[in-house]
Amino acid sequence: MKIYAYAIIDSNSEISNSINGLGGAGIYNIPYRDIGIIVSGLSEQIQGITPEHVLKHEEVVERLMENFTVLPMRFLTQFNREEDILLMMKKHYRDFKDNLDRLRNKLEFGVKVIWPGETIKKRIIAAFEKNSAAVSLPERSAIQSFVKEKFEKHKIDKEFQEEADTCIAIIDNFFNKFVMEKKLEKLKSKNLLLSAAYLVEKERQNEFKEAFERARVTLIDLKFLLSGPWAPYNFIVLTKDTDIFREALKESLKESGVI
């Protein structure tokens, strides 16, 4: 029988609540010093990523968040023996402890912002072509024309990036005073202006949600999407190499079509 792992928590005590994990098996805590790892027995091999499996994993993490600080582990993290788990806990104890202390009483929210990137790019190109047409220039060689075309594309892309940066700064300003840490990804596609993760103190989560609503109703040309609260998937910092937190559960949720 395999041992399936869900999360590291800031407690070495037994789990008092009855929580079932994958396959209906009850979860339990394997303590190491003053922390623990939440696991359950796994009697059958999990084949691939399904919405049911991912949602059950996430359900366990969310239930744990009610009472503990949680470092959620990568979906499908399994061990053969408890001895292997304890060796892993020993190796990474300082990292786990530092992260649990830093992330205590904090939650993660995800914000995605869609903008009319195609339309904005066309507007920039049209304005650039209009200005270029107004200037009479002598004929150029094929090489000169190629260089000119590349330079013009660079200027158009630069203006597009600058407009995106300005818009993101305005959006981010709605949230800044409510967050402890943040990770911003710009223009993952032409129309996905911003994909952001914000770390928020639990007691300020309502303020953060209100700020999201203010941004949404103020910037009416943009489409805002909010997810969370999550365990702090994107804010776990490791000094030693390990893959047990890589491909965070949220990525598995996306792959399975849950979010």
CB 39 within 8 A of CB 63: no
Considering the domain architecture, whether residues 215 and 114 belong to the same structural domain is answered as: yes
Tokens of 100: 């649990």
Considering the domain architecture, whether residues 125 and 69 belong to the same structural domain is answered as: no
Considering the domain architecture, whether residues 180 and 228 belong to the same structural domain is answered as: yes
Provide, rounded to the nearest whole percent, the portion of the chain with pLDDT above 70: 82
Considering the domain architecture, whether residues 85 and 202 belong to the same structural domain is answered as: no
Tell me how many degrees the CA angle 39-240-62 measures, rounded to the nearest 5.
35
Considering the domain architecture, whether residues 142 and 226 belong to the same structural domain is answered as: yes
Q: For the purposes of burial, counting CB atoms within 10 Å of the CB of 38, is it exposed (0-12), middle (13-18) or buried (19 or more)?
A: buried
Phi and psi for 173 in degrees, rounded to 5? Answer: -65, -25
Considering the domain architecture, whether residues 170 and 74 belong to the same structural domain is answered as: no
Considering the domain architecture, whether residues 146 and 94 belong to the same structural domain is answered as: no
Which domain range does residue 118 map to?
Answer: 108-235
Q: Residue 81 pLDDT more than 60?
A: yes
Considering the domain architecture, whether residues 28 and 133 belong to the same structural domain is answered as: no
Out of 4-8, 61-65, 140-144, 154-158, pick the least confident.
Answer: 140-144
Considering the domain architecture, whether residues 155 and 187 belong to the same structural domain is answered as: yes
Tokens of 93: 């104890």
Considering the domain architecture, whether residues 75 and 134 belong to the same structural domain is answered as: no
HSE value, Cβ hemisphere, 13 Å, CA-based, for 34: 6
Q: What is the pLDDT of residue 241?
A: 62
Mean of all residue pLDDT scores within the chain: 86
Q: What is the pLDDT of residue 43?
A: 76
Considering the domain architecture, whether residues 226 and 130 belong to the same structural domain is answered as: yes
Residues 144-199: tens digit of each pLDDT: 555 555 656 778 889 989 999 999 999 999 999 999 999 999 999 889 999 999 99
Distance, in Å, from the CA atom of 176 to the CA atom of 182, rounded to the nearest integer, reads 9
Q: What is the pLDDT of residue 258?
A: 39
Q: Residue 9 pLDDT more than 80?
A: yes
Query: Which of the two residues, 99 and 141, has the higher pLDDT score?
Result: 99
Residues 116-154: tens digit of each pLDDT: 988 998 888 888 777 665 555 555 555 555 555 565 677
Out of 77-81, 236-240, 245-249, 253-257, pick the least confident.
Answer: 253-257
Q: What is the pLDDT of residue 238?
A: 85
Out of 4-18, 38-52, 133-147, pick the least confident.
Answer: 133-147
Q: What is the pLDDT of residue 48?
A: 66
Considering the domain architecture, whether residues 42 and 141 belong to the same structural domain is answered as: no
Out of 44-58, 103-117, 213-227, pick the least confident.
Answer: 44-58
Amino acid (1-letter code) at residue 182: K
What is the helix, strand, coil percentage profile of the chain, to 5? 45, 25, 30
Q: Domain tally for the chain?
A: 2
Q: Residue 247 pLDDT more than 90?
A: no
Rounded mean pLDDT of 214-230?
Answer: 96
Distance, in Å, from the CA atom of 35 to the CA atom of 52, rounded to the nearest integer, reads 29
